[in-house]
A and B are shown apart, each in its own frame.
Chain A
Amino acid sequence: MDYATLLQILDSTLRLATPLLLACLAGLYSERAGVFDIGLEGKMLMAAMASGAVAFLTGSVWLGLLAGIGASLVLAAIHGLASITFRGNQLIAGVALNFLASGITVLIAQRLFGQGGRTPPLTGDGRFGPITLPFADALKDVPIFGPLYHEVISGHSFLVYLAIALVPFTWWVLYRTRFGLRLRAVGENPAAVDTAGVSVVGLRFAAVGITGILCGLAGAYMATALQAGFGREMTAGRGYIALAALIFAKWRPVAALWACLLFGFFQALALRPDVVEAVVQVKIPVPFLDALPYILTVVVLAGFIGKAIPPRAGGEPYVKER
Chain B
Amino acid sequence: MTFMKSLYGATAALALTAGVAAAEPAIIFDLGGKFDKSFNEAAFNGATKWATETGGTFKELEMQSEAQREQALRRLAESGANPVVMTGFAFGDVLNTVAPDFPDTKFAIIDMVVDQPNVKSVVFNEHEGSYLVGMMAGLASKTGTVGFIGGMDIPLIRKFGCGYAQGVVAANPAAKVILNMTGTTPAAWNDPVKGAELATAQQSQGADVIYAAAGGTGIGVLQTAADLGILSIGVDSNQNYMHPGKVLTSMLKRVDNAVYEAFKEGVDLKPGINVMGLANDGVGYAMDENNASLVTPEMQAKVDEAAAKIKSGELVVHDYMSDNTCPAATF
Interface contact A222-B193, CB-CB below 8 Å: yes
Q: Which segment of B76-84, B198-206, B257-265 sits at the interface?
A: B198-206
Contact pattern, B 88-112, Cβ under 8 Å of A = 1, otherwise 0: 0000000000000000000000000
Q: Which segment of A29-37, A134-142, A193-201, A228-236 sits at the interface?
A: A228-236
CA distance A272 to B207 in the complex (A): 13
Known: A5-B204, A233-B187, A272-B201. A227 touches B192 (CB 8 A): yes
Interface contact B193-A116, CB-CB below 8 Å: no
Interface contact A116-B181, CB-CB below 8 Å: no
Interface contact A118-B219, CB-CB below 8 Å: yes
Interface contact A233-B201, CB-CB below 8 Å: no
A85 CB-CB contact with B under 8 Å: no
Tell me the interface secondary structure of chain B in the complex: helix
Interface residues on B, range: 20 to 34
The interface centre, meaning the residue of B36, B187, B192 with most chain A CB atoms within 10 A of its CB, is B192
CA distance A271 to B181 in the complex (A): 9
B125 CB-CB contact with A under 8 Å: no
Contact pattern, B 174-205, Cβ under 8 Å of A = 1, otherwise 0: 00001011011001001111101110110011
Interface contact A116-B33, CB-CB below 8 Å: yes
Interface residues on A, range: 20 to 34
Known: A227-B192, A234-B191. A121 touches B201 (CB 8 A): no
Interface contact B190-A232, CB-CB below 8 Å: yes
Interface residue ranges of A205-257 to B (CB < 8 Å): 222, 226-228, 231-234, 236-237
CA distance A233 to B185 in the complex (A): 13
Interface contact B37-A116, CB-CB below 8 Å: yes
Residues of B within 8 A of A290 (CB): 183-184
Residues of B within 8 A of A272 (CB): 201
CA distance A79 to B227 in the complex (A): 38
B25 CB-CB contact with A under 8 Å: no
The interface centre, meaning the residue of A16, A231, A237 with most chain B CB atoms within 10 A of its CB, is A231
Distance between A296 CB and nearest chain B CB, rounded to angstroms: 19
Interface contact B181-A231, CB-CB below 8 Å: no
The interface centre, meaning the residue of A4, A19, A116, A287 with most chain B CB atoms within 10 A of its CB, is A116
Interface contact A116-B34, CB-CB below 8 Å: yes
Distance between B290 CB and nearest chain A CB, rounded to angstroms: 14
Known: A116-B35, A227-B223. A271 touches B196 (CB 8 A): no
A-B contact pairs, 25 of them (CB 8 A): A4-B204, A8-B201, A8-B204, A16-B193, A106-B33, A110-B35, A114-B35, A116-B36, A117-B35, A118-B219, A121-B242, A222-B193, A226-B196, A227-B223, A228-B227, A233-B187, A233-B190, A236-B194, A267-B197, A268-B197, A272-B201, A274-B178, A274-B205, A287-B183, A287-B184
Residues of A within 8 A of B193 (CB): 16, 19, 222, 226-227, 234, 236
Known: A116-B35, A117-B33, A117-B35. A231 touches B192 (CB 8 A): yes
CA distance A136 to B275 in the complex (A): 56
CA distance A19 to B196 in the complex (A): 14
Residues of A within 8 A of B227 (CB): 228
Interface contact A271-B197, CB-CB below 8 Å: yes
CA distance A192 to B201 in the complex (A): 52
Chain B positions within 8 Å of A, measured between CB atoms, are 33-37, 41, 178, 180-181, 183-184, 187, 190-194, 196-198, 200-201, 204-205, 216, 219-220, 223, 227, 242
Residues of A within 8 A of B242 (CB): 121
Residues of B within 8 A of A236 (CB): 187, 190-191, 193-194
Known: A228-B223, A236-B187. A115 touches B35 (CB 8 A): yes
Interface contact A286-B197, CB-CB below 8 Å: no
Partner of B200, one of A5, A12, A237: A12
A182 CB-CB contact with B under 8 Å: no
Distance between A271 CB and nearest chain B CB, rounded to angstroms: 4
**Known A116-B35, A116-B41, A234-B216; further 9 A-B contacts with Cβ < 8 A:** A115-B37, A116-B36, A121-B223, A227-B192, A234-B191, A236-B187, A236-B191, A271-B194, A286-B184
Residues of A within 8 A of B219 (CB): 118, 231
CA distance A236 to B184 in the complex (A): 13
A150 CB-CB contact with B under 8 Å: no
A204 CB-CB contact with B under 8 Å: no
CA distance A282 to B300 in the complex (A): 41
Known: A16-B197, A271-B197, A271-B198. A232 touches B191 (CB 8 A): no
Residues of B within 8 A of A184 (CB): none
A15 CB-CB contact with B under 8 Å: yes
Residues of A within 8 A of B205 (CB): 274
CA distance A4 to B197 in the complex (A): 16
> Which residue of chain A lies nearest to B64 when distances are taken between CB atoms in the complex?
A103
Residues of B within 8 A of A267 (CB): 194, 197
Interface contact B41-A237, CB-CB below 8 Å: no
Interface contact B216-A232, CB-CB below 8 Å: yes
Interface contact B190-A237, CB-CB below 8 Å: no
Interface contact B220-A227, CB-CB below 8 Å: yes
Distance between B89 CB and nearest chain A CB, rounded to angstroms: 20
Distance between A67 CB and nearest chain B CB, rounded to angstroms: 20
Distance between A245 CB and nearest chain B CB, rounded to angstroms: 17
